[in-house]
Structure 1
Amino acid sequence: MPPSLRLNASTIVLLTVPPLLWAGNAVVGRWAATVIPPITFNWLRWVLAALILLPLAGWVLRPSSPLWAHWRRFALLGLLAVAGYNMLQYLALHTSNALNVTLVASSMPVWMMLVGRLFFGAPVLRRQLAGAALSLTGVLVVLAQGEWARLLALRLVPGDAWMLAAAFTWACYSWLLTRRAEPPEIRNDWAAFLLAQTVFGLVSASALTGLEWLWLGVAAPADMPTTIYWSPTLVAVLLFVAIGPSIIAYRCWGEGVQRAGPTVAGFFTNLTPLFAAVLSSLLLGEPPHPYHGAAFALIVAGIVVSSRL
């Protein structure tokens, strides 16, 4: 790994913040699924994020902005990160179960290596494969909760293919972040860079939300809300996911990928199920268990092994 891509304390923090916030998103998202259709929830999340970013970087949307000469790049980034990844993840959660989705999502480091090798010419190193094995083992420890019989009873279902597609989509997005093809004035302004992605992503997300409402009007599943049940709690949840898992997490992820590279950054995503398990335990008044510590040690070991020179 070149010196410019080595991990340091600030880079570790940047890459740890997103999985922590995404874990919080998963926890509150389970509740939100009972009061709002999932793709609509994602759309409102990013609409709020765009409104928050607008005062910080509204200049990027002016007719004279250099954004429009590079609209294809931002349209692709927005499609992958704002609309595509989140839609596929929600479909996975609706057609599979949380255990399956978490297990399939733990393949993210492998997808980072494959996408980098196939489309960006990045070599796959043995230390990265060893790191992926350690990281995946840590995720399995979380899923098993100290009872390996839970994993023996696991059965993959067709809906898990949605999560595989989501992992592939996120890997493509992360690698595209390393191709800094946008104008310097946008690249060096994190709010403008994120707002440009969000606005173009909302075009796709709006179309998907419209299709969701058409679907709900024809063949709504029994376990999915067909209207939005507004409450102060839902407003608070939407504000949290717009500010935390969207703006702060995407800002930190983008900077972290630039510093460490997509492959090493991908290993940090496996902290998400661990953080989600710990947050769920704390919210339920239960202390963390020893297997949480073992899982954390294995996932961190995977990060250390993968990022060694």
Structure 2
Amino acid sequence: MTQQNKTVWWALALPLLAVLIWSLNITVTRYVVDYISPVSISFYRWLVAFLVLTPFMSVKVWRERQLVVQHWKQLAVLAAFGMVLYQGLGYTAAHYTTATNMGIINAFIPIFTIFVSMLMLKDIPNRFAVVGSLLSFMGLLYVMAQGNLLNLVQSGGHLGDVMMVLAVFFYAFYGVFLKKWQLKIPLMISLYVQIIFALLYHLPFVLWLGLDAINPQNVGSVLYAGIFPSLIAPLVWMLAVQMIGPNRTSIFMNLMPVFTAIIANIWLAEAWTVYHSLGGVIILLGIVLAQKKDGAVKVVKLNV
């Protein structure tokens, strides 16, 4: 085997590791609901990430302070959507739904991104994106209705699933904002400043609702959330994008429902049912179809 082939296989392991870390974090989020409030773990998560990064990033941020000041409004918006709305709703949703459902709904990010891009960037999706999106949405409704769409009509769906859908919708905005602005700022500086904004956004909620104490039952979950999904997974993911490209990397996100379901089954004894299987397959088929390129129809911009 050549050195080039070795590098390729090693690079393919990077997105797998990132998705595994994020999938485990979904299960951790569900596990810790009885031991710490959503606002507490969300605040502590970014506090841990801030404390870990500060020794390495504070001097660099000061050196690039003019660049940070230039883009502070965009960084503030990114922090609001990606770190506060998405993560906060996710922690709250864990009180009302299963980790398995959260993993399935999280895989819906590419579909929502297509429509947010249409709204904000005026990108017209091709026919595959439209059909794939509709197919995935049907699969999502099927999972939320637990295999019986009549249940969805009668009960209005589970609150946790609805909140998770809303969280994923906000994260789609986060991705589109990144694409729209394409900030010329180092990634680590961007991440560090966003974390600072996230902590500031949490302060009103902390003052109003208070913070739960760190104790032996929740400290492991807090440290995991603050280090692995907040710092290590994004770095590994960005490295994978650089080595194998964004398109090949993004495909690995489709494994999140599978990883989450396996972890939740082993750790939380959550059942993987027939409606999870059918709905999950429909969602993944729709996502794959939505990413297919249409050779005959080019993506164009709307003139407004």
- When normalised by structure 2's length, the TM-score is 0.72
Structure 2 partner of 1:241 = 225
Supply the AA of the counterpart residue of 1:33: V
Provide the alpha-carbon RMSD of the alignment: 4.0
Q: CA, structure 1 residues 252+179, in 2 after alignment: closer, same or farther (shift >3 Å)?
A: farther
Q: How does 1:39-54 map to 2 (within 5 A)?
A: 39-54=39-54
Change in CA separation of 1:242 and 1:296 when aligned onto 2, cut-off 3 Å: same
Which is further off, 268-277 or 116-125? 268-277
1:17 and 1:128 mapped to 2: Cα distance?
28
Q: What CA distance in whole angstroms lies between the structure 1 residues aligned with 2:111 and 2:176?
A: 13
Question: Is the CA contact 2:48–2:226 (under 8 Å) kept in the aligned structure 1?
Answer: yes
> Displacement, 1:204?
0.4
Map 1:189-200 → 2, pairs under 5 A:
190-200=187-197
Partner of 1:272: 256
Q: Distance in 2 between matches of 1:198 and 1:109?
A: 24
Structure 1 equivalent of residue 209 of structure 2: 212
| 1-structure distance, mates of 2:93, 2:273 | 28
Number of the residue aligned with 2:178:
177
1:15-54 to 2 correspondences below 5 Å: 17-54=17-54
Deviates more, 1:36-45 or 1:51-60: 51-60
In 2, Cα distance between equivalents of 1:275 and 1:84:
24
User: Which residue does the alignment assign to 1:130?
Assistant: 131
Task: Return the offset for 1:47.
Answer: 0.8
Structure 2: any 5+ residue segments left out of the alignment?
A: 1-7, 294-304
The CA distance in 2 between the partners of 1:59 and 1:228, in whole Å, is 31
Structure 1 alignment gaps of length 5 or more: 1-7, 214-225
Any conservation in 2 of the 1:139–1:270 contact (CA below 8 Å)?
no
The C-alpha deviation readout for 1:161-187, integer Å capped at 9, x for no partner, is 54343222111101111134433xx33
- In the alignment, the residues of structure 2 paired with residue 240 and residue 247 of structure 1 have an alpha-carbon distance, to the nearest angstrom, of 10
Matched with 2:215 is: 230
Q: Kindly provide the CA deviation profile for residues 179-199 of structure 1, in whole angstroms up to 9, marking residues without a partner as x.
A: 34433xx33xx3222111111
Instruction: Show the 5 A alignment for 1:1-309.
Output: 17-62=17-62, 65=65, 66-94=67-95, 96-98=96-98, 107-133=108-134, 135=136, 148=147, 152-154=150-152, 155-157=155-157, 159=159, 162-183=163-184, 186-187=185-186, 190-213=187-210, 227-228=212-213, 230-231=215-216, 233-251=217-235, 260=246, 265=250, 271-283=255-267, 301-309=285-293
Q: Which secondary structure state, in structure 2, belongs to the residue aligned with residue 62 of structure 1?
A: helix
Task: Give the direction of change, closer, same or farther, for the CA distance of 1:169–1:158 in structure 2 (3 Å limit).
Answer: same
Question: Could you say which residue in structure 1 is the equivalent of 2:301?
Answer: none
The structure-2 alpha-carbon separation of the partners of 1:260 and 1:294, relative to structure 1 and needing over 3 Å to count, comes to: farther
- 2: CA distance, partners of 1:285 / 1:276: 12
Shift of 1:203: 0.8
**Does the 8 A contact of 2:50 with 2:195 survive in 1?**
yes
Counterpart CA distance in 2 for 1:40 and 1:286 is 25
Aligned residues: 278
Secondary structure at the counterpart of residue 33 of structure 1: helix
1:105-153 CA-to-partner distances (Å, cap 9, x unmatched) read 5653442122100111222112123333554566678778xx835x654
Displacement, 1:234?
2.4
Aligned residues of 1:268 and 1:303 also touching (Cα < 8 A) = no
Give the secondary-structure state (helix, strand or coil) at the position aligned to 1:178.
Answer: helix
1:236 is displaced (CA, Å) by: 2.1
Output the CA distance in 1 between the equivalents of 2:232 and 2:285.
Answer: 26
Is this contact kept in 1: 2:104–2:256, CA < 8 A? no
In percent, how many aligned pairs have the same letter? 27
TM-score by length of 1: 0.71
Cα separation, 2, equivalents of 1:16 and 1:303: 18
Residue in 2 that maps onto 1:223: none
Closer, same or farther: CA 296–196 of 1 in aligned 2, 3 Å = same
The change in CA–CA distance for 1:202 and 1:54 in structure 2 (over 3 A counts) is same
Deviations 1:76-113 (A, max 9, x none): 1111111121222333344x433876676565344212
Which string of whole-angstrom CA distances, capped at 9 and with x for unpartnered residues, describes residues 228-279 of structure 1? Answer: 3600x52222221122221233345667789547xx95x8656433322111
